[in-house]
């Protein structure tokens, strides 16, 4: 009996010691709120590869349980939660999964905050090391309603004057047919030469069955156009700000039929009307979407029409009304 009591007592003491040790580890791993606070919020990232720069976006959050979490728009695709994010002695580490980056390996980011700039290195998919920087995303808050200027025809219905293709020598090219801009698919993006801050934009589009395209606002925020037989989530469907905002109500698919978008963008606040019905009403766009031209959100940007995805898409009557400065 005595030996049983001793064994039970020893087991009890061991259990208590283990729990105390675990609690100590929890305390050690709990992030110091004052240390993590400067890292929190949205960041506009630029990844610097040897041949080009990639825009990206990162948002860091501190949950109620003290855990640091993040979501990211990688080189392509939509915003997704990251499987790993750590902050240790001022060094930030986070991982963008290979599935999101369409690569053979994960991209592992490491960096530090110096002043108002995040900077560091990333293990690239090709095995090399790239540098990256992050600037705190601007709030883009407008305190009063804008006064609107004169309407501008961005497309003259005759040729590509005022537009530049992202690839100067594409294998397939945009063309003008019967007064419409036509993308045959899997070609370059078509980018307006003019850049804009706040504006109202009217555009008419015709999306063939199985096609995919989009209208990029300031060259950074994609308003989706698609007729996908296997649709993804609602934010990736026609009328959505890709990966962030879903249209509500979602309009029925109308492949091969001319439709309209009427968009108002003021700061980050966007309103979208599709075929005369409001589907996004003064909602905030959190950050850039995949395929953005850059991550410099504080600057004016162009309108660009996506041509790199599949299928035949046509545009006409592209009219923009900028806000008066």
* Range 280-285 average pLDDT: 98
Query: What span, in angstroms and rounded, lies between the C-alpha atoms of 291 and 139?
Result: 21
Give the count of alpha carbons within 13 A of 144, CB side only.
Answer: 5
Q: Would the pLDDT of 125 be above 50?
A: yes
Lowest mean pLDDT segment, chosen from 43-47, 103-107, 137-141, 164-168: 103-107
Per-residue pLDDT averaged across 34-51, rounded?
A: 95
Instruction: Tell me what the mean pLDDT of segment 297-302 comes to.
Output: 98
For the stretch 213-257, pLDDT in tens is: 999 999 999 999 999 877 789 999 999 999 999 999 999 889 999
pLDDT digits 0-9 by tens, 171-189: 788 999 999 999 988 889 9
Q: What is the pLDDT of residues 28-40, one digit of tens each?
A: 446 788 899 999 9
Mention every residue, 6+ apart, whose C-beta is less than 8 A from residue 238: 207, 224, 225, 226, 227, 247, 251, 253, 274
For all residues of the chain together, what is the average pLDDT? Answer: 89
What is the Cα–Cα distance from 234 to 245, expressed in whole angstroms? 8
Residue entry with tokens 């064994």: 7
Residue of 307 and 98 predicted with greater confidence: 307
Domains plus CATH for the chain? 33-136 (2.40.128.120), 152-322 (2.60.120.560)
């Amino acid at each position: 009996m005595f030996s049983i009591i001793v064994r039970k007592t020893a087991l009890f003491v061991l259990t208590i010691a283990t729990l105390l040790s675990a609690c100590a580890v929890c305390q050690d791993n709990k992030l110091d709120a004052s240390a993590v606070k400067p890292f929190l919020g949205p960041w506009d990232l630029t990844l610097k590869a040897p041949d080009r720069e990639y825009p990206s976006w990162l948002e860091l959050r501190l949950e109620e349980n003290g855990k640091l979490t993040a979501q990211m728009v990688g080189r392509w695709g939509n915003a997704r939660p990251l499987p790993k994010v750590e902050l240790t002695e001022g060094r930030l580490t986070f991982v963008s999964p290979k599935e999101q980056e369409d690569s053979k390996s994960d991209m592992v980011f490491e960096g530090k905050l110096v002043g108002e700039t995040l900077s560091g290195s990333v293990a690239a998919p090709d095995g090399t090391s790239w540098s990256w920087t992050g600037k705190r995303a601007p709030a883009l808050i407008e305190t009063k309603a804008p006064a609107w200027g004169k309407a501008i025809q961005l497309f003259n219905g005759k040729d590509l004057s005022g537009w530049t293709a992202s690839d100067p020598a594409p294998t397939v090219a945009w063309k003008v047919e019967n007064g419409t801009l036509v993308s045959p698919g899997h070609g370059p993006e078509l980018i307006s030469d003019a850049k804009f801050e706040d504006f109202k934009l009217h555009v008419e589009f015709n999306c063939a069955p199985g096609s995919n395209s989009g209208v990029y606002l300031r060259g950074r925020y994609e308003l989706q156009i698609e007729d996908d037989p296997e649709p993804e989530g609602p934010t990736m469907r026609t009328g959505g700000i890709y990966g962030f905002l879903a249209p509500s109500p979602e309009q029925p698919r109308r492949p091969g039929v001319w439709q309209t978008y009427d968009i108002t963008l003021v700061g980050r606040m966007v309103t979208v009307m599709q075929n005369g019905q409001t589907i996004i009403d003064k909602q905030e766009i959190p950050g850039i979407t995949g395929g953005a031209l850059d991550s410099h959100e504080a600057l004016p940007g162009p309108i660009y029409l996506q041509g790199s995805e599949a299928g035949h898409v046509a545009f006409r009557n592209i009219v923009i009304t900028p806000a008066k400065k």
